[in-house]
Structure 1
Amino acid sequence: MPDKPQTPPLARKIPLLPLRELIVFPHEVVPLFVGREKSINALEEAMATDRAILLCAQKKAKVNDPRPEGIHNFGTIGSIIQLLRLPDGTVKVLVEGKSRARIGRYIDHDKYFLVEAELLEPAPVSAEDEAEISALMRSVQQTFENYVKLNKRVPPELAVSVQSIDNPSRMADTIAAHVNFKLTAKQELLETESIRARLEKLYELMQNEIEILQVEKKIRTRVKKQMEKNQKEYYLNEQMQAIQKELGSQDEFKNEIAELEERVRRRKMSAEATDRLKKELRKLKMMSPMSAEATVVRNYIDTVLALPWDERTVEKLDIAEAEGILDADHYGLDKPKERIVEYLAVRSLVPKLKGPILCLVGPPGVGKTSLAKSVARATNRKFVRVSLGGVRDEAEIRGHRRTYIGAMPGKIIQGLRKAGSNNPVFLLDEIDKISMDFRGDPSAAMLEVLDPEQNSAFVDHFLDLDYDLSDVLFLCTANSLHSIPLPLQDRMEIIELSGYTDEEKQKIARQYLIPKQLEANGMQNAEIVFTDQAVRELIHHYTKEAGVRSLERAVSSVVRKLAREYVKDGKKKKSFKVDLRLVQRLLGAQKYRYNSADASDQIGMTNGLAVTIFGGDLLPAEVTLTAGKGKVTLTGKLGEVMQESAQAAVTYVRSRSPSLGLEPDFHEHVDFHVHFPEGAVPKDGPSAGVTIVTSLVSALLRVPVRKDVAMTGEINLRGRVLPIGGLKDKVLAAFRGEMKTVICPRDNEKDLADVPKHVLKALDIKLADTIDDVLRWALVPLPEDHPNVALRKFLAGVDVTSPVDWREVNRYLEERRRKDREAHESGVH
C-alpha cells in the first residue's frame, strides 16, 4: 500500500540554544553547562513559557558568538527538566530531547536567538516496508550488542534496553546517542528523515566502529603479551644473577685475586711498584667484590701491570743504514738528519745515554711528523705520537689522582702502555699549541717530562710511582718558537727547519709525490710524464706554502683527473704528457701569485722581504705624503713590533733631515701614510725597518727606489742596521721575485751559508752596516743638474748639511717632465 499523504509540518516560534561539540537526539537526556549570555537568555525565555528550546550544533565549536550561517539548520526540540544557577554565573540545565526540527527562518531578537522551527515527525511505516524495517532493526540491535561487548565504556544494560524498543525511529536515535561516532556522522543521522535510510547508515557506521575496536583489541593484546614476556625475562634474569652471586661470586673473586698475585710475582718491575701492588692486593682482599672501591683498585693494578717496565726493543746502531733510511724517506732536512746520526754514533759508544729532547721547528708541511716516523724505523724503535694541540688541562700530561671518578693516567704513560716498550720514539706533536686555563698549565707539567736530568723518575698522579723515561727518545714539533715558554725551550735542543726551495720542491715532487700519487690512484700502469714546466706551474701558481702538503694535493688532483679520462677512454690511452697547458686545463685558473718586481722604479715604494706561513715573500712598503701636521698613519694589519719600527723610521728620518736636504721642520707640514698591501695577511716583526725608512726618504725627496732591489733589516734610532731571522727564506723570495740586489744586515753574513749556491750566484748580496748604506744602494742616482745638492753628495758618500727647498725640487721635476714630453712629441729620443 502507498504511504498516506503527509500533512505539512507544524511551524512554531522557539528560542535557540547553540551547542559546541555536542548533538542531542530525541529521547536523550543531557546535562548542559551554559555560560554565554545569549544562551542563558534563551533558557530564561524557555523557562518563562513552555520550557521548550531548540538545540542545534555549531559548525565551528571555537566560535564564541556564532552567526546564523554558522549553526546547523537541523536540531532537536528539547524540554527543560531542571535549571540550576551556579555561583560563577553559569547555568546547569538538564534537557530531554523530544523531536527533530528544522529552522525555517531567524526572527530578529537582541537578547537571544529566536527562530521559526518546523517539527519533523517520523513518517509512518508502510506495510510494504514493514518487513524490511524489522529486519534492519534486528541487524542494528545485534550489531549494537557486538559493539557493547567490544567497547567497555558502554554499560551492558543499554544493549538489553535497546532490545526492548520496538519503535524504529526511537531505537535508531537511542543507539546514535550512545555510540562514539564523529560529530559530522551524528549530524547526518539527525538530518536523515527516512527511517530506513537512517537505520542503514547507522548499521554501516557501527560496522566501521566495530572493525576499529577489533584492531585496537588485537594491538592491546599483542602489547600486553610482549610486556608480560619482557617482565618475565627480567625477573628470571634477576633471579639467575642473584643465585650465581650467592653460589660462585666469592670463589670467582678469590680466583681473580690469586691470578693477580701470580702476575705481580712474575712481573719484572721496580721494587717500589712491586711493594705498592702487594699493598693494593691486601686491601683488595678485604673489600667486597661489588664495591666501587674494589673496581678502582683492580683498574689501578691492571694499569701498573700493563706498563712496559722491562720490555724494550733492540736498538739498531748502524749509522750507514740509518742514513739510507732517512735519505730515502726525506729529501733535504740535512740538520735534523745530521743530529740523529750523531745521536746514534754516540749511543754506539756509550751504553747508557740519556735520551736527547729534539724540537723540530718549522712551517707546516716540511716533514716534521713524518721525520719522527723515519727515526723510529731507522733505530728499530716503536713509534708513539701524542698530539698536544688544544691540551689545556695539566692532568692530560700528569694524569688524574685516583680519588676522582673515571681517573686515568696522563698521555705520556698511556702512550708508553700503547707502545709496549720503554724505549720508543715518542713524538709530542704541536707542542707550541698547548694552552692553559683554570685547570693548570700543561706546559709547566711538560718540564719534568722533557728534562733529561729529571725524567728518570717521572711521577704520574694516577700511578704515584717513579717511572724511568730516560731511555725514551723524545721528539717535539712546533710551527713557531715564540709561543713555546722559555723554560720549556731551555730543556730542548731546537732544530729549525726552513721551507723548501723551488728546486727542492721540484725534486721532492719527482722522487716522492708523483710516484706515490700514481700508486694511490691506480695509475701506476699508465705512462704519465710530468714536464719540469708543469711541476713549476703547480709550485708557483697552484700552491703557496713552505712545505709540500698542498703540492701533493695538487699532484693528486691532476692524477685523479687523468684517471677519469683513462677509465672513460676504456684504458686505451696508455701514456699522458702533463705539460703547462694540460695542468691549466685540468686545474682551471691559477690560484696564487708571488710578488715580483714592478715594471719601473717607483717613488715611495720599496720591496721588503718577509717570512710568512707560506715561506718567504716580497713585502712592498708604500709611503704617501699629504698636507698635514706630522701625523703618521699605519695600515696593512700590522703587529705592535712593526708599528714601533715605523715610528722609529720616522724619527730617524727627522734626525737625518739636514744630510738628506730636508728642512728641519719638514714634518710640521706633511702627514705620512705607511701602507703594506695584502692587508688580509697579518704582519709583524722588526725586519721591515730599513724598508720603511727607504720608502719615507724616497717619498720626501721625490727620488725613485730601484725596482730590482729588495731589502730586510731592523734599525735603531742611531741608524744601525740590526740582524734579523729567516734570511734563507727571504733571499729565496727575492730570487723568485726576479730581484737583482738583496740588501741585508752585515751581522747576517753567516746565514748566507744556508742559501743555495745557484741563488747566491744570481743575486748581488749587499751587507749593510747603517741605513746610509741602504739608501745609497737602493735610491736611483740623481743627475748632475738636480737641485738637491746635499742629497746628490749624500748618495755619492759625502755628507753635506745644506737643505734645499722642496718647491725647487718640484720645479726641477716639472721641467724635466716637460722636456721629456716635448722630446717624445718631436720624435727625438
Structure 2
Amino acid sequence: MRFFKKESPLPEQAPPSTEMDQLRQLVRKAGMPPEAADATFMEIDRIAKMPPGSTEHTIGVSYIDYLTHLPWNRTTDDRLDLKAAKQVLDDQHEGLLEIKNRVLEHLAVRILRSERRHTMLVVDDEKTTRMNLMHVLTKEGYAVETAADGLEAIRLLEKQAFDIVITDLKMEQADGMQVLETAKQKNPDTEVIIITGYATVATAVSAMQKGSYHFLAKPLKLDEIRTTVAKALRPKQTRLDHRGPVLCFVGPPGTGKTSLGLAIAKSMQRRFVRISLAGMKDEAQLRGHRRSYVGALPGRIIQEIRRVETINPVFMLDELDKISQEFKGDPAAVLLEVLDPQQNTHFMDNYLDLPFDLSKVMFIATANTVDTIPEALLDRLEVIELSGYTEQEKVRIAFNHLIPREIETSGLEGRSIDISQAAVVRIIREYTREAGLRGLQRQIAGLCRKIALDQVDQGNDAAPLAITEEAVERLLGPRRHTLEVTQARDRVGVATGLAWTRTGGEIVFVEATQMRGAGQLTLTGSLGTVMRESAQAAMSYIRSHVEAFGIPADFFERHDIHIHIPAGAIPKDGTSAGVPIAAALLSMITGRACRRDTAMTGELTLTGRILPVGGIREKLLAAHRAGVRTVVLPAKNGVDLQSIPDEIKQVLCIIPIEELPGAIEQVLIGRDSLN
C-alpha cells in the first residue's frame, strides 16, 4: 500500500475588495484636483460607517459614483487651423462676416498662445550642471538661457522677464538669494527654483520666505526637475485658458444663431452642448439640488458636461432673453458666476458641493433682444448682432443650402428637378415676410413635398420638372403678402414709419385725422408710454411753430385730433415714431399728402431736433422688403450705414436729416399732387 503525504491546504484567495475600496480606486483614476479628491475620500470614510442598506448609504454611493464619472481633466484637442475653420463656417453659413471674423480671431489667439514657449534661465557655476539642465529643458520645449554666475543672471533679469529661474545657491560674487530677490523685484510672477548641495532647513525657510517656489538638493534627479517645472508653470497655463467676454448672438428668429454655434464647434472640433433657457424659472435647474433632497440631481450645466465627457465643449445658452424669475430663485444670477472668467474656475453646484472648473468651456449665448437681459449679465457678454438677410442673400442661401437639403429630405435626389431663380424670388417676396430664413425654409419644404406627390402620382413616367415663377402659385396657393408701399397711393394724414422689433424691422403706418372739438388728443393702437410721449412732443412742437408751417392760430382750439397706428392688437412702443407722427400730423393739418414710398425714423425733441435711434440695419432691410424707395434717417445715424450691404444702399435713397423741417420737405408733396 502506498501512502501519500497529506497536502497542506491551498492558500486562501485574497478576499474581494470591498465596495469602499472600489470607490477609492475610482477616485484615484478620476483625475480629480487634490482638494476634490481629499473631500471625496472623507465622504467615502463617512459612508463606510453607515449600514449598507440605509438610504443615506445608497445616496452616498450614488454621489461618489457621479463624482468619479465627471471629466475633471479630460479635454479634446482644438483644431487650430484657420483655413479649415473658415471653410467650415463658409460651408455652413452664407455671409455673417463679422461673426466669422470674431471666431477666427479667437482661433488666432489660441494659435499664438499654443506657439508661445515658456522662457527659462538656468544659473549655475558648474558648466556640466548648466548644460545638463539646458538639454533636458530644451527637449521639453522650453526656451532656455544660461548664466555662469549670479552677476550675469542679474544682468539678464534686468533686460528681460523669465517664467522660471533655476539657480544654484552658492556662487561667487552674487549667490542664489540675490538672484531670487532680483527676479521677484523685477517680475513677481517669475517662479524661482533653488538648487544646492548644501541644503539646510534654515536656508530653505529663508528662500521660501523670500518667494522661492521650491528648494531642491543636489545631486539633481531629472524627473524631479521636470515635475517641479511643470507644476510651477501650471498657474500660468491656467490663466491663458480664460476666454474673456462670452459671445452673445442677438437677432431675429431664423437668422441661424443656434446653427452658427454648432458650426463653431465643428470648426474647432469640439463637442457641442445646447440648453434652452426659455421659461427657466428655478435656480436649481442650473445649480442643482442639495443632496438632502430626495431624488436630488446636479444642475443642467454639470449634467451636460458629464454627458459630453469633456471639460472644454462649446456650450450654447439658447434664448437667454426669455429666462424667467420667480420666488424659487433667479437663474440669471447663476449665469453671473458661470460666465465670469474670474469665478467659473470654482463653480459650485449644489449637488456636487465641490468646485468644478468651467474656465475651459467656450460659452455662447443667443437672444432675440438684449432689452430683457439683466444689466449685470449683459456686461459679461460680447454682443454680436445678426440683423437678417437681404433678398439676394436669401436667394444664395436657398440655392446653396435650403433647396439641396429639402430635396434630399423629400426623397427627390437623383431626379431632374430645376427650380428657377425667379421662382425663389417670388417665394421670398409673396410667401414670406421675415428677417430670417425659417419661413422660407418651410415654403421650400412645402414646394418639395408637392413635387414629390406629383412624381409619385406620375410614377416612372415622371418627366424632368422645371419650377418656374408661374408654377409657384399652382403649388403653394395664392400669394400671402403684398407690397403695401408700392401698391398704395399717397394719402393725406398717413405717413410711413420704420420700427424695430425682436423679430426684425417692420413697416408701420401712422394715421392722423381731425374733427370738430376743443383740442383733445386721442391716441390708439396699443401704444406704449414712450410712443405716447413722442406723439405729445410732436404736437407741442407743431403748436409752437404754427406760423412756420402756415397753420391757423386757432386750429387746435377748434379741432380734436386722433392719431392711430393700425394693428391695434399688437403692443407698440419706442422712440422711433416721433418723426413719422409729426409728418402725419402736418400732412393732415396742411392737406399735403405724404409720400407713401418714403419711410422715416427718428426721435423728435421739443426744439425740432432729430435724435439717433437703434436698429438701422433692420429697418433698412424692412424698407427694402416693403418696396420703399427713400428713407429719411437722423443724421447722427450715418455711422450705422457702414454695416449696410451695398445692394441695399444702391436701391434705397437714404437722406440724413438733422431737424424736422428738413424731413417734412422730403416727405410731404404739394396739394396739386393729390389723386
Provide TM-score, normalisation by structure 2: 0.77
Following the alignment from structure 2 to structure 1, what is the Cα–Cα distance between the partners of residues 602 and 68? 58
For the pair 1:589 / 2:478, whether they are aligned, the reply is yes
**2:35 — aligned with what?**
272
**2:109 — aligned with what?**
346
Following the alignment from structure 2 to structure 1, what is the Cα–Cα distance between the partners of residues 405 and 567? 35
Residue 381 of structure 2, aligned match among 467, 485, 492 = 492
**1:600 — aligned with what?**
489
Q: Provide, for residues 657-705 of structure 1, a one-character-per-residue CA deviation record: whole Å limited to 9, x for no partner.
A: 1211223442221111111123333322110110000110111111222
After TM superposition, the structure 1 = structure 2 runs for residues 330-369 of structure 1, keeping only pairs within 5 Å, are 330-351=93-114, 352-355=240-243, 356-369=245-258
Residue 396 of structure 2, aligned match among 500, 507, 528 = 507
Q: Secondary structure at the match of 2:101?
A: helix
**1:547 — aligned with what?**
436
Residue 426 of structure 1, aligned match among 307, 315, 318 = 315
**1:622 — aligned with what?**
511
For the pair 1:370 / 2:259, whether they are aligned, the reply is yes
**1:262 — aligned with what?**
25
Q: Provide, for residues 680-733 of structure 1, a one-character-per-residue CA deviation record: whole Å limited to 9, x for no partner.
A: 333221101100001101111112222331111111111111111111222222
**1:537 — aligned with what?**
426
Q: Secondary structure at the match of 1:704?
A: coil
Say whether the 8 Å CA contact 2:332–2:374 is kept in structure 1. yes
Q: Provide, for residues 104-159 of structure 1, a one-character-per-residue CA deviation record: whole Å limited to 9, x for no partner.
A: xxxxxxxxxxxxxxxxxxxxxxxxxxxxxxxxxxxxxxxxxxxxxxxxxxxxxxxx
For the pair 1:649 / 2:543, whether they are aligned, the reply is no
Larger radius of gyration: 1
Following the alignment from structure 1 to structure 2, what is the Cα–Cα distance between the partners of residues 574 and 258? 72
**2:291 — aligned with what?**
402
**1:786 — aligned with what?**
none
Q: Secondary structure at the match of 2:539?
A: helix
**1:463 — aligned with what?**
352
Say whether the 8 Å CA contact 1:595–1:617 is kept in structure 2. no
Q: For residue 613 of structure 1, report the CA deviation from its aligned partner.
A: 4.7
Measured on the aligned residues, the alpha-carbon RMSD in Å equals 1.8
Say whether the 8 Å CA contact 1:595–1:618 is kept in structure 2. no
Residue 448 of structure 1, aligned match among 326, 334, 337 = 337
Q: Secondary structure at the match of 2:365?
A: strand
Q: For residue 592 of structure 1, report the CA deviation from its aligned partner.
A: 2.6
After TM superposition, the structure 1 = structure 2 runs for residues 389-788 of structure 1, keeping only pairs within 5 Å, are 389-597=278-486, 599-781=488-670
Structure 1 residue identity aligned to 2:626: G
Say whether the 8 Å CA contact 2:69–2:306 is kept in structure 1. yes
Cα 1:255/1:592, change in 2 over 3 Å? farther
Say whether the 8 Å CA contact 1:594–1:617 is kept in structure 2. no
Say whether the 8 Å CA contact 2:242–2:341 is kept in structure 1. yes
Say whether the 8 Å CA contact 1:712–1:745 is kept in structure 2. yes
Say whether the 8 Å CA contact 2:492–2:594 is kept in structure 1. yes
Q: Secondary structure at the match of 2:18?
A: helix
Q: Which has the higher contact order (CA 8 A, sep 6+)?
A: 2
How many residue pairs end up in the alignment? 535
After TM superposition, the structure 1 = structure 2 runs for residues 175-186 of structure 1, keeping only pairs within 5 Å, are none
Following the alignment from structure 1 to structure 2, what is the Cα–Cα distance between the partners of residues 480 and 613? 6
Q: For residue 618 of structure 1, report the CA deviation from its aligned partner.
A: 2.0
**2:62 — aligned with what?**
299
Q: For residue 543 of structure 1, report the CA deviation from its aligned partner.
A: 1.8
Following the alignment from structure 1 to structure 2, what is the Cα–Cα distance between the partners of residues 579 and 334? 32
**1:28 — aligned with what?**
none
Structure 2 residue identity aligned to 1:308: P
Say whether the 8 Å CA contact 2:27–2:40 is kept in structure 1. yes
Q: Provide, for residues 728-769 of structure 1, a one-character-per-residue CA deviation record: whole Å limited to 9, x for no partner.
A: 222222233333321000111011122221321222211010
**Any unmatched runs of 5+ in structure 2?**
1-14, 115-239
Following the alignment from structure 1 to structure 2, what is the Cα–Cα distance between the partners of residues 571 and 718? 74
**1:248 — aligned with what?**
none
Residue 78 of structure 2, aligned match among 304, 307, 315 = 315
Q: Provide, for residues 625-650 of structure 1, a one-character-per-residue CA deviation record: whole Å limited to 9, x for no partner.
A: 01111221122222222122111111
Following the alignment from structure 2 to structure 1, what is the Cα–Cα distance between the partners of residues 420 and 570? 33
Q: Secondary structure at the match of 1:644?
A: helix
Q: Secondary structure at the match of 1:609?
A: strand
Q: For residue 538 of structure 1, report the CA deviation from its aligned partner.
A: 1.3
Cα 1:302/1:380, change in 2 over 3 Å? same
After TM superposition, the structure 1 = structure 2 runs for residues 62-81 of structure 1, keeping only pairs within 5 Å, are none
Say whether the 8 Å CA contact 1:531–1:578 is kept in structure 2. yes
Structure 2 residue identity aligned to 1:751: D
Q: Secondary structure at the match of 1:386?
A: strand
Following the alignment from structure 1 to structure 2, what is the Cα–Cα distance between the partners of residues 535 and 314? 42
Following the alignment from structure 2 to structure 1, what is the Cα–Cα distance between the partners of residues 99 and 643? 14
Q: For residue 624 of structure 1, report the CA deviation from its aligned partner.
A: 0.3
**1:208 — aligned with what?**
none
Say whether the 8 Å CA contact 1:369–1:429 is kept in structure 2. yes
Following the alignment from structure 1 to structure 2, what is the Cα–Cα distance between the partners of residues 748 and 358? 25
Q: For residue 590 of structure 1, report the CA deviation from its aligned partner.
A: 1.7
For the pair 1:289 / 2:52, whether they are aligned, the reply is yes
Q: Secondary structure at the match of 1:405?
A: coil
Following the alignment from structure 1 to structure 2, what is the Cα–Cα distance between the partners of residues 777 and 766? 9
Structure 1 residue identity aligned to 2:387: S
Structure 2 residue identity aligned to 1:490: D
Q: Secondary structure at the match of 2:459?
A: coil
Following the alignment from structure 2 to structure 1, what is the Cα–Cα distance between the partners of residues 496 and 58? 68
Following the alignment from structure 1 to structure 2, what is the Cα–Cα distance between the partners of residues 258 and 738? 75
Cα 1:507/1:607, change in 2 over 3 Å? same
Q: For residue 601 of structure 1, report the CA deviation from its aligned partner.
A: 2.7
Provide TM-score, normalisation by structure 1: 0.63
Q: Provide, for residues 351-402 of structure 1, a one-character-per-residue CA deviation record: whole Å limited to 9, x for no partner.
A: 4231241100111111000111111110011111111111101111111111
Say whether the 8 Å CA contact 2:30–2:69 is kept in structure 1. no
Say whether the 8 Å CA contact 2:88–2:267 is kept in structure 1. yes
Q: For residue 614 of structure 1, report the CA deviation from its aligned partner.
A: 4.6
**Any unmatched runs of 5+ in structure 1?**
1-250, 784-815, 821-829
Say whether the 8 Å CA contact 2:485–2:596 is kept in structure 1. no
Q: Tell me which moved more, 319-328 or 757-766.
A: 757-766
Q: For residue 587 of structure 1, report the CA deviation from its aligned partner.
A: 1.3
Structure 2 residue identity aligned to 1:666: F
Q: Secondary structure at the match of 1:258?
A: helix
Q: Secondary structure at the match of 1:602?
A: coil
Residue 324 of structure 1, aligned match among 87, 100, 121 = 87
Following the alignment from structure 2 to structure 1, what is the Cα–Cα distance between the partners of residues 462 and 482? 34
Q: For residue 598 of structure 1, report the CA deviation from its aligned partner.
A: 5.3
Structure 2 residue identity aligned to 1:768: I
Following the alignment from structure 1 to structure 2, what is the Cα–Cα distance between the partners of residues 328 and 360? 19
Following the alignment from structure 1 to structure 2, what is the Cα–Cα distance between the partners of residues 698 and 522? 57
After TM superposition, the structure 1 = structure 2 runs for residues 132-281 of structure 1, keeping only pairs within 5 Å, are 255-281=18-44
Q: For residue 781 of structure 1, report the CA deviation from its aligned partner.
A: 4.2
Q: Provide, for residues 540-595 of structure 1, a one-character-per-residue CA deviation record: whole Å limited to 9, x for no partner.
A: 22222211112111111111111111111113224111112211111112223343
Q: For residue 599 of structure 1, report the CA deviation from its aligned partner.
A: 4.4
